[in-house]
Each structure stands twice: as C-alpha cells, then as structure tokens.
Amino acid sequence: MRSDLIKSGADRTPHRALLKALGVTDSEMNKPFIAVVCAASDYVPGHSHLHDISRHVKDGIRNAGGVPFEFFTIGVCDGLAMNHRGMRYSLASRELICDSIEVMLTAHPLDGVVFIPNCDKIVPGMIMAAARLNLPSIFVSGGPMNPGKAMGKRVGYSEIYEAIGKFSNGEIGEAQLSDFENNACPTCGSCSGMYTANSMNCLTEAVGLALPFSGTEPAVNAARRRLAKETGERIVELVKQGIKAKDIITRKNMLNALATDMAIGASSNTVLHLLAIAHEAGTDIKLSDIEAMSKTTPQLSKLNPASDVFITDLNDVGGIQAVIRELAKGGHINTDVLTVSGTQQQRIDNAMPADGTIIHTCENPIRKDGGIAILSGNLALNGSVVKQGAVKPEMMDFTGTAKVFDGEQDAVDAILNNVIIPGDVVVIRYEGPKGGPGMPEMLAPTAAIVGKGLDGSVALITDGRFSGASRGAAVGHVSPEAAEGGLIAYVKSGDKIHINIPARSIELLVDDEEIARRRAKGVTKPERVLDGYLKRYARLVAGSDKGAVFED
C-alpha cells in the first residue's frame, strides 16, 4: 500500500511514532489509510454542514476496515465574493485547491481519497487533484439547499438579483425585497438551481466519480448522511480493487459527462472546468468536442434559473441516473465504462425511467440540441460560450448596437440607471482570465437585465464569465480576451454585433479595413494594480478556450 511509505519497516519507526501520537493503534497500521479531503467552512452556506458529512464518511471508512485522516481545503462562495475584488479570486482558487491537495497527499502518502466538496470551484479543483495524483478516489458532495419561497412562489438565489432590478424599477418595495433576502436561501447546501455548484456535482456523478444521487440529494436529508457513509465504505473497496481516478476519468466517461451537461442545461462554467479536468487527466477533450456534443445531444431538463423547476425536483424523479438512462436509450451514453460503483450500465439498470415532465424523453425533448452552445466568429476566433437553454426564443438570432464597458461595475450602473435600452448589446471586456484577472462571474448585470425586463431585447457579451444562476442572451468566455489582443478590445459603442446561436456565430459587423485601422491605432487598457497571488495568476493562466489552466 502507498501508506507503507510512512508506516512499514524499521526505518519508518519515527513516522509510526508520530502516527501513534495521533492515536493510531498497531492494528490500524495494517489497514488502508484513507484521506478525507473536506471543504468545510463556517461562512459558506454550501459548506457549513460538511463537518457532519465528513463524520459520516469517516464512520463508513471505519465500518469497511479503513483508517480515516481528515484535512481541509479553502473554498470561495461565489455569492459572497460577487461584485467586489474578491470575485477575481474565485476561479483562481481552483488551482490553489488542486495544488494544496497535491502537496498534502504527496507529503503524507495515503492509500485512497474521499473528496467532500460542494460549491463552484472546489468541485473541479478536487477532481483535478484526483486526476493529478491518480489514487483510488471517490466524491460525495454536500448536496443542494432547498428552494426558498418569496412573494408567494418558489425562488432560488438568482431571483434575489432579479428582484434588485425590479426594486430599482419601482415594481416592488423594500418589504418585498426583504422577503427575498430572508427566504430565498432557507437551508444549508449549494444554491438550489442548476447553477455551477450543482452542475459540477451532477457531472461528477455523471463521469462516474460519485455514487448515484450524490449530485441531487438535498443537503438536509438523512439520505445525504447515509450516502456519505456508503461513500466511506466504498473507498475502501476501491483501494482493495486498485481502481484509480484515471481509470474513471477517461475520454468515454468525459463524453458521458458532456452529454449529461447538455441534457440538464448546466452552467456555462462547466465548459471551463471540464476542459481543465481533461487537461489534468491527459484526456483529449477540446471545445470542438463540446460543440459536437451540443449539436447531437437533446436537452431533457430545464431547471432554475431557466424555469421554476429546482434540482430537488430532479432528485425526486430519479436524479442524474434517470437522465443518463434516458440518454442511453437515445444512444448518447457509453454504458460499458467503469464508475466507482460498477459499470454505467449496472447503475442505470437500477435507475428510474424519465417521468416525461421534469426529465423529458429523447423523443420529446425540450430542444433537440444541448443546453450549452459554442459560438465562434471574428469576435471569438477561439470560441465563446452561451447557455442557450436559458435564452428566450426571440434572442436566438439577434443584431444589436454595442455599448462598451471596460469592467463590470460600469455596466451594472448603466443597466440600473436605464442607460441600456432595447436593441443594445452590452459589451464587458478586460474581465478574462488574464485581464480580470481571474475571469470574474457576472451575475449582477445579467440579473439586472432580467429584472429590468430587457432579457427579450438586450444581449450581453464578455471575455469574463457568468454565474450558473445567469440567464438571458449572455455570451461569455470570448476568446481571445481583450487583454490578449482579441477583437473584443477594439469594439466601439455604436458598432453593430450579430449573435446567431443556431448558426453558432458571433460577429462584429465592422469592415476589415476599419478593424485594421483600429488595431494599428491601438487601445488604452484599464489599469489593474496587482499583487500577491493574483499577480502570479495573471502571469501563468491560459485562455478560457483552454480551461483557464496554468500554462505548461
């Protein structure tokens, strides 16, 4: 066993002495040592209960004859980091999480790992670490929070931001806004819609690294605790069987995750994270694979923020395995692949059939192509991403007038102060991986557009990214980014922009000669005073089309 590096032989007597200082017994020295990597935190609602989840995981490890050793990672709450400098650290934290786990599990070699994430960047950061270390690995998330209720209807986190737009319009008062504040997030857990956290937890299950229902079982349910205990028991079996992370993170499994991504209308951030995971695993997945999957995979579920159906509703009708079962019927899933609990076929043999309402059938899908689309054109030579499953029909092919902002806050102010009018395309630039730096999420401007009632007449494009809670004609991940000389840096207010989602195109309608003149003249970049980790991050990070990983 790998843990023999710290517990076997006379020359490891000092190591055993330190282990015995922890209370490890002689009999335990002969058992598998299992790491429990937990992202518990006192001020992230998605992680506040993870100490309890971890306790059940450790009980399961002991039940199965292993010895658990817990340590912790950082974890940024994107909601708390939103709209200030802290958001620039959110995506950047993914690489820190991965690196810190590599450090701990190389310095302290153990035999297997249970990962306990829940929120946005923690999930992919941990999967990247699993691929890098290639140990027997399994995941169990903390689960989603229940939907809230405000103004007499069920709501999620995104509706709070949209309520701000309605408040600024005078459509609701302070009492109604307070109703959202007090009741939209009623329990612990990852925010209740198909936002980035829940998207990534569902895709962790789809790729085969977690047990069924890990992505959807509510945080507050006793079934979540039983699932945690079963996960702890299962990791000991994976160690005995010698099944490692990269035995599961294969191209076929990644394609299964991509198909599921398209079927559930997941967050556009999943594109960044799946590319980064594939990079760590040495799996050949590119933007072209994502676009190919988008064109051929039907969208079967439409969840909040794109509808009033929540992830807890998806759990009630069979969760992700029911989605995968229906996709397999349509020939969209590799069923012979290995997961942490048998083959994918064995898992869906026990899954519920599609209910036809929350999970549509392949014969009667919500849409015939996937929930995410990759657009390219002169404005995005290396690609851009839109969550097309959350775009209104009238905005699928849209030509508008650019209003350009060199940063998010100026755009938000313009929207809330009625500077943005129907027919506009809001352009937010210098918010990419290098230019931001950190590619901050932009829930505030997209929610403000929705709150102002403009989501059927205004588009938004950016080299930054969007929250999974965003909806509307919002095109992100524009690559090359402005800071790298992409054409988005040379757009001027008043230019016409054509976004054609069915044709997968995004074009600046300015002739080549004028573009050449603008490039020759150059642009004035906004000042970014960087220090500490962000300074190093901006120097190392690659473009969004490569998953915003560190350059090799």
The answer to whether 467 is a known catalytic residue is yes
Q: 232: left (phi > 0), else alpha (psi -120 to 50), else beta?
A: alpha
Bond prior to 147 in cis (omega within 30° of 0): no
Residue with tokens 């809670």: 469
Q: Name the burial class of residue 520, with classes exposed (0-12), middle (13-18) and buried (19+) by CB atoms within 10 angstroms of its CB.
A: exposed
Tell me how far apart the alpha carbons of residues 265 and 314 are, in angstroms, rounded to a whole number: 12
Residue 308 near residue 158, CB atoms below 8 Å: no
Instruction: Name the amino acid, one letter, at 31.
Output: K
Give the pair of three-digit tokens for residue 238. Answer: 């994976």
Give the pair of three-digit tokens for residue 404. Answer: 């350009």
Beta strand ranges found along 140-282 (DSSP E): 148-150, 153-155
Q: Which of 467, 470, 479, 544 is catalytic?
A: 467
As beta bridge partners, residue 505 has 376, 500
Pairing of strands 33-38, 459-462: unpaired
DSSP-H helix ranges across 265-407: 269-281, 287-296, 311-316, 319-329, 344-349
Phi, psi dihedral angles at 47 (to 5 degrees): -120, -5
Going by C-beta distance under 8 Å and a sequence separation of 6 or more, which residues neighbour residue 93?
74, 75, 76, 121, 122, 125
Other CB atoms closer than 10 Å to residue 244's CB: what's the count?
18
Residues labelled catalytic:
467
